[in-house]
Amino acid sequence: MTLSFFDQFMSPTYFGVPLIALALTLPWVLYPKPTTRWLNNRLLTLQGWFINRFTQQIFQPINLGGHKWAVLLTSLMLFLITLNMLGLLPYTFTPTTQLSLNMAFAVPLWLATVIIGMRNQPTHALGHLLPEGTPILLIPVLIIIETISLFIRPLALGVRLTANLTAGHLLIQLIATAASVLLPLMPTVALLTALLLLLLTLLEVAVAMIQAYVFVLLLSLYLQENV
């Protein structure tokens, strides 16, 4: 029983072909494409308003040099939100519960921000490793600590997204199993458990959106430090 709870996080295959590729392709099919009409429909208008608001909020504190990342980070957030939301549907697979996938998103983007900082302003980028006014005796220790914290950033990005989604899916499955077991024995308790399951599902919808936003927000903060 304990092992079956984790079966939902295994990448499904069909005739030996991993279906994670299909799951990663599906989000791009769901969004409506812009039209050549003068007036868009309500869905396109809402989508454009959301993208514009998000882009303004993320890139407002970043100078013009970092605005080149707007399309990349906005597309990444929409992609992560869609994957997380589709994973809450029954009989679906959530690719973002795989640490390998999240690290594949986090490491290249974090490394790109570091490389940009080292190329454009190496003195300022290296200055983050040693705060101003540090006592001489603490300089070697602080450089080691700041270097470790710098290299932990992509790991924290990937683990945060994986852990939050995995914990939420496990809680939903545990409470749903408890409700189905209690239904013939204690119907009243089963109904209360089902109500708790509904509230938890609503919470997971919020978590799915917030975690995608936090992932991109932290990447934008790393970009702000190096641009």
| Rounded Cα distance, 189 and 184, in Å | 10
Least confident window among 40-54, 107-121, 142-156: 40-54
pLDDT of 13 reads 74
pLDDT of 4 reads 63
Sign of the CA dihedral with 81 first, then 85, 87, and 92 last: negative
Instruction: Inform me whether the pLDDT recorded for 3 exceeds 90.
Output: no
- Sorting pLDDT into bands at 50, 70 and 90, what band is 207? very high
Averaged confidence pLDDT in the chain = 85
Least confident window among 103-107, 110-114, 122-126, 169-173: 122-126
Instruction: Inform me whether the pLDDT recorded for 7 exceeds 70.
Output: no
Q: 219 by DSSP, 3-state: which? A: helix
pLDDT of 153 reads 92
Share of the chain above pLDDT 90, in %: 30
Report the amino acid identity of residue 83.
L
pLDDT of 57 reads 86
Q: Which residue has the higher pLDDT, 133 or 210?
A: 210
Instruction: Inform me whether the pLDDT recorded for 88 exceeds 60.
Output: yes
- Sorting pLDDT into bands at 50, 70 and 90, what band is 1? very low
Sheet strands (E) in the chain: 13-14, 17-18
Alpha-helix residue ranges (DSSP H) falling in 19-93: 20-30, 42-59, 70-86
- Are 158 and 174 in contact by the 8 Å Cβ rule? The answer is no
